[in-house]
Amino acid sequence: MTLDRQQKDFAKKLARLSLDAGSQIDPARVDAVLSSLGAHAPRVRRAILKAYLRYLQIEDRRSRILVEHAGDATSAGLDALRASLEKKYGRALRLETRENPALLAGLRASVADDIYESSISSRLAALATALG
């Protein structure tokens, strides 16, 4: 079932109600929202719940830094990166790391749809493209 504009806005408001002061998803608030929806079921509950889940997933991606690195990444360097990105985005960010040997050296950090990369593999790919 397709939601109309008012129902989508309602799902967005539910997602905003699920965030704490630091723009992080608060499980207690999510529980309260779901309990309220259970008690006062809207006409298109399933579709609204799907939209609500989608908006929560978007908020989760906006609150997470995924750092892929080749080799060892120092905790001091990762903390500095997190502090820099928190300042840029104006919100608290959760740091997740993953080793990626394909990067050769360096790292790739992503927050939602923004990707910041400083790796040997990206520089080699740019050089290969430039050389044709």
* Stretch 65-69: mean pLDDT: 87
Q: Is residue 14 domain-shared with residue 69, that is, in the same domain? A: no
Chosen domain end from 44, 61, 78: 61
* Stretch 38-64: mean pLDDT: 86
Q: Report the b/e string of 110-119 with b at 16+ CB within 10 A.
A: bbeeeeeeeb
Mean pLDDT of the chain: 84
Q: Is residue 44 domain-shared with residue 21, that is, in the same domain? A: yes
Q: Is residue 10 within 8 Å of 45, Cβ to Cβ?
A: no
Predicted confidence band of residue 29 (pLDDT cuts 50, 70, 90): very high
pLDDT of residue 7 exceeding 80: yes
pLDDT of residue 102: 76
Q: How far apart are CA 92 and CA 90, in angstroms?
A: 7
Predicted confidence band of residue 1 (pLDDT cuts 50, 70, 90): low
Q: Which domain holds residue 31?
A: 5-61
Q: Is residue 55 domain-shared with residue 85, that is, in the same domain? A: no
Q: Is residue 95 domain-shared with residue 55, that is, in the same domain? A: no
**Is the whole-model pTM more than 0.75?**
no
Q: Is residue 126 domain-shared with residue 109, that is, in the same domain? A: yes
Q: Is residue 77 domain-shared with residue 125, that is, in the same domain? A: yes
pLDDT in tens, 83-105: 988 888 888 888 888 888 777 77
Distances (CA, A) of 112 to 5, 29, 58, 81: 24, 22, 8, 16
| Lowest pLDDT segment from 2-16, 76-90, 118-132 | 118-132
pLDDT of residue 54: 92
pLDDT in tens, 101-126: 777 777 888 888 888 877 667 667 77
Chosen domain end from 61, 76, 100: 61
